[in-house]
Amino acid sequence: MRLLPRDESFFDDFERHAQKTVEGCRTLVEMAQGKIGAADACPRIKAIESECDAITHHVVERLHKVFITPIDRNDIFRLISKMDDVIDFVEAASQRVALYGVVADNKELWDLGRVLLAGSERISEAVAGMRNLKHPELILEKCVEINRLENEADVQLRAAIAKLFKEEKDPIQVIKWKEIFELLETATDRCEDVANIIEGVVLENS
């Protein structure tokens, strides 16, 4: 069953925002792999975050102008807000890398970034499926996978911090990296928030 009435504009915005977030997460992973330097990656991620902000503002403005929305207004607001949180935390983590002058080619950073990238890709697939709910089980599968990835990020964060305290002798470096790791794990938490909202919308409208 299709969500009614048919108004594709909000779904267009969800999809564009999700695709941009994937792009930002992929750039972070490339930085963590040493494929690109922080000097190039961080401005790129910042530009993506700004584009996502503009999409979010557009959605909120339309909520005030459109009389009938394809799904509940509060769900639209919550969904785009949580989606925006994901890229906000990605951008915050990348800016800390540049600000603190740490070496971005880091295995733990790559591990957390890889899981976050996978979560953002599942979000992109899930929001694309919201246009047509003929196969809600496919969307719900993406949501379950996002929840699994969030649990994986929790495990990776604990391992990364344990290794940091065990191997890093400079307490300032410990503080810097701990903050960066926690920002990325929080971004994965927000992916789970997005999945929970999508799941609720699907169950209510299918």
List of domains in the chain: 9-205 (1.20.58.220)
Alpha helices of the chain — where are they, by DSSP H? 9-32, 38-65, 73-100, 107-129, 136-167, 171-205
Residue 84 and residue 166: Cα distance in Å, rounded? Answer: 34
Range scoring the smallest mean pLDDT among 5-19, 25-39, 158-172: 5-19
Per the omega criterion (within 30 degrees of 0), is the bond before 5 cis?
Answer: yes
Nearest to 12 by CA among 76, 65, 64, 86: 76
Average pLDDT, the chain: 92
In this predicted structure, the answer to whether residue 131 has a pLDDT above a threshold of 70 is yes
Q: How many residues does the chain have?
A: 206
Between 8 and 33, the more confident residue is: 33
Task: Write the pLDDT tens digit of every residue in 169-193.
Answer: 999 999 999 999 999 999 999 999 9
Where do we find the tokens 């994986």?
Answer: 152
pLDDT-based confidence at residue 9 (cuts at 50, 70, 90): confident
Model pLDDT for residues 42-94, shown as the tens digit of each residue:
999 999 999 999 999 999 999 888 878 888 899 999 999 999 999 999 999 99
The H or E element containing residue 84 is helix 73-100
Q: pTM for the complete prediction?
A: 0.92
pLDDT for the residue 179: 97
Alpha carbon distances (Å) from 186 to 64, 102, 138, 180: 30, 20, 26, 10
Mean pLDDT is lowest, of 39-53, 83-97, 101-115, 150-164, for 101-115
Q: Which of 105 and 38 is assigned the larger pLDDT? A: 38
More confident residue, 8 or 115: 115
Return the amino acid letter for 189: D
CA separation for the pair 106, 192 (Å, rounded): 25
pLDDT at residue 70, as a whole number: 84
Q: How far apart are CA 67 and CA 154, in angstroms?
A: 41
Grade residue 106 by pLDDT with cuts at 50, 70 and 90. Answer: confident
Q: How confident is the model at residue 8 (pLDDT cuts 50, 70, 90)?
A: low
Q: Which residue from 7, 25, 8, 6 is spatially nearest to 124, judged by alpha carbons?
A: 25
What's the confidence (pLDDT) of residue 5?
Answer: 47
